């Protein structure tokens, strides 16, 4: 086997076996068959289910055991649990292991990892991919195909470790970009965190009305509402943690959104049709670009079944 076909890591450890952790395991199995995979999850039930699903070579009974022989450790836990997960592996982590994560906010996670693992080789990462489902059963090998994975190494990061992690994600089908952690947090605040916050809000608003019943909301949801319920069904712990750790960027984007919404509110109140029409024409173009760049399904209605 030529050297460039050798996987960049030989023993990979996944801490957290939910949607992302279990998808990485399955993707590694498909694309880097030689890699030895060890998994751990703080939840006993998840460990048992992961064993039954069989996507890893071994499921350890402690985080320390899971990482003891790893050359790559990926923390796949909610960002609010990163400190605990990092502390749990601190004593057992091999000196030459690379530590990474998959958290959706990066500046705060980077600081947390650095504090818990002061001597480790750390390369934070964020695969921009997922579904609304959670747990080890929800993962699948192609989740990262064609999606972006953003690495946010700091200035002191070991360039070789960054290269190896980039290779690792590329093999799983992801396109890799490097970015400053603070910039990442601003980009994701608008492309992911604000959309989720708005979706959670409107689903809450709709279920709290007195003049319209929840059963009516559900019945007639195909008018647009149902689109928001998908991301509003995402994991509550994961999303609470993201909003609390990327607070400043989320509040900034939210402020801008609220201002823009007020403008449209005023246009509706005063019957200013041109203001509405001009915006609605502009927003169409963005959809086209997203589809052209392969970031969404080109079929109408996301490819939903009709019949």
Site for a copy of itself in 1-60 (CB under 8 A): none
In terms of phi and psi (left: phi > 0; alpha: psi -120 to 50; beta: otherwise), the region of 301 is left
Alpha helices in 32-179 (DSSP H): 44-53, 63-67, 82-90, 107-116, 159-171
User: Which residue stretch of 58-66, 109-117, 160-168, 272-280 sits at the interface with a copy of itself (rule: CB under 8 A)?
Assistant: 272-280
> To 5 degrees, how large is the angle CA 43–CA 78–CA 182?
160
Least distance in angstroms from the C-beta of 36 to a copy of itself? 25
Map residues 222-241 to x or -, x wherever contact with a copy of itself holds by CB under 8 A. Answer: xxxxxxxxxxxxx-xx-xxx
Nearer to a copy of itself, 160 or 258 (CB): 258
Nearer to a copy of itself, 3 or 210 (CB): 210
User: DSSP strand E in 162-275: where?
Assistant: 175-178
Least distance in angstroms from the C-beta of 141 to a copy of itself? 9
Q: Which of 32, 85, 172, 194 binds a copy of itself (CB under 8 A)?
A: 194
User: Can you tell me whether residue 49 is helix, strand or coil?
Assistant: helix
| Radius of gyration, CA atoms only, the chain | 21
Measured CA to CA, the distance from residue 110 to residue 137 in angstroms comes to 29
Which residues, 6 or more positions from 297, have their beta carbon under 8 angstroms from its beta carbon?
A: 291, 303
Least distance in angstroms from the C-beta of 71 to a copy of itself? 28
Q: Per CB under 8 A, which of residues 110..169 are in contact with a copy of itself?
A: 128-133, 138, 140, 142-143, 145-148, 150
For residue 258, the tally of other CB atoms under 10 A from its CB is: 10
Q: Which of 95, 155, 159, 269 binds a copy of itself (CB under 8 A)?
A: 269
Q: Which of 3, 4, 156, 208 binds a copy of itself (CB under 8 A)?
A: 208
Nearer to a copy of itself, 40 or 243 (CB): 243
Nearer to a copy of itself, 168 or 200 (CB): 200
Nearer to a copy of itself, 119 or 307 (CB): 307
User: Which residue stretch of 6-14, 81-89, 106-114, 198-206 sits at the interface with a copy of itself (rule: CB under 8 A)?
Assistant: 198-206
CA end-to-end distance (rounded Å), the chain: 49
Which residues, 6 or more positions from 164, have their beta carbon under 8 angstroms from its beta carbon?
A: 8, 9, 72, 98
Strands lying side by side in the sheet with 148-151: 125-127, 148-151, 175-178
Nearer to a copy of itself, 38 or 134 (CB): 134
Least distance in angstroms from the C-beta of 269 to a copy of itself? 6
């Amino acid at each position: 086997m030529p050297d460039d076909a050798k996987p960049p890591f030989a023993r990979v450890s996944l801490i957290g076996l939910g949607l992302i952790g279990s998808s990485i395991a399955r993707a590694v199995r498909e694309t880097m068959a030689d890699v030895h995979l060890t998994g751990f999850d703080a939840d006993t039930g998840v460990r048992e289910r992961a064993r039954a699903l069989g996507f890893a070579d071994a499921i350890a009974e402690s985080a320390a055991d899971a990482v003891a022989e790893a050359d790559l450790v990926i923390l796949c836990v909610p960002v609010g649990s990163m400190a605990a997960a990092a502390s749990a592996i601190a004593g057992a982590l091999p000196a030459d292991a690379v530590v990474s994560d998959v958290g959706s906010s990066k500046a705060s996670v980077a600081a947390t990892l650095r504090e818990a693992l002061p001597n480790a080789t750390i390369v934070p990462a964020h695969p921009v991919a997922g579904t609304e489902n959670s747990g080890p059963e929800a993962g699948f090998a192609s989740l990262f195909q064609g999606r972006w994975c953003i690495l946010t190494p700091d200035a002191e990061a070991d360039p070789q470790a960054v290269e190896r992690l980039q290779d690792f994600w590329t093999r799983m089908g992801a396109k890799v970009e490097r970015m400053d952690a603070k910039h990442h947090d601003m980009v994701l605040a608008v492309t992911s965190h604000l959309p989720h916050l708005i979706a959670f809000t409107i689903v809450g608003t709709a279920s709290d009305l007195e003049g319209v019943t929840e059963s009516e909301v559900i019945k007639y949801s195909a008018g647009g509402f149902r689109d928001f319920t998908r991301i509003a069904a995402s994991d509550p712990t994961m999303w609470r943690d993201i909003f609390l750790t990327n607070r400043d960027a989320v509040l900034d984007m939210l402020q801008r959104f609220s201002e823009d919404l007020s403008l449209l509110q005023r246009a509706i109140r005063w019957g200013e049709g041109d203001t509405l029409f001009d915006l609605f024409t502009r927003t169409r173009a963005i959809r086209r670009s997203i589809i052209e760049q392969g970031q969404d399904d080109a079929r109408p209605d996301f490819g939903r079944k009709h019949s």
